[in-house]
Structure 1
């Protein structure tokens, strides 16, 4: 089996994520919020660092239950800031709570983030066949457009690079290399 360069010769978490999650279409709102949060937390760090902390994130963020996260208070924020098992960045934690609060309002209006994002691509994954990892863009016109729209809607910590990674995590963008034999969208 040939994998994308970033998933070759790495730990089991990265390999599993590459083989079974990255580029796989996601239509679950809770998972969409989880990946939004993890991508925000990853900013400035490695994805491997985030994956190693993922299970603990799930525990302390109530399995990314949007309603529960939206209700976090100062006591919970303090507990999160003191938990060495997660990435303790106050701005990222506050942005996660803020974004959950916005999503609660969306849900009350019958909207979901998942449907909103998939509407940008008419419900179809964009499959790219890059020749090398150096060809993968850090951001695209699509991620810039969505980032700008999300910021206008009040979402925080949603820059185009974070959105690009998030779209890949959700399978909206399938950016496996052409040489990768783990290409979920073409199966």
Structure 2
């Protein structure tokens, strides 16, 4: 008991780091979750992991950020769970999953930052422009917007554009046909 007290007292006087590995072996992982336009997404659940092992969970703040602190140095990944009203890019466009990032190497006393992007669900406008081979707008052409179970048609206006309103977030095709 007296030896331990003497070691602590000795360390307090010299600023000894060998007894306090916290300051030398740990770093931090700063995570930001954003929309495609860069706006922050608050309330997203984020998971810090190494290999198959979860290291910590958190939720993004109003700035779309969460800081995992006191993380041992090593190789990490971060995964985001899209909150209600948001989708992963690969949910719409397919391809490689976009809800995680990996191979983040954390060194002692360092902070590494990573950003993950989600897409806001909702409705918007889709505008298709049709031009001829010389780049002039084509007027009165039939343009179809389609997806699984959805098909709607518009005619191009004097500027060669056809606008589709209240289009839900998703992956669509557009085809213009000459009548």
TM-score w.r.t. length of structure 1? 0.23
Greater C-alpha radius of gyration = 2
Q: Which has the higher contact order (CA 8 A, sep 6+)?
A: 1
Structure with greater strand percent: 2
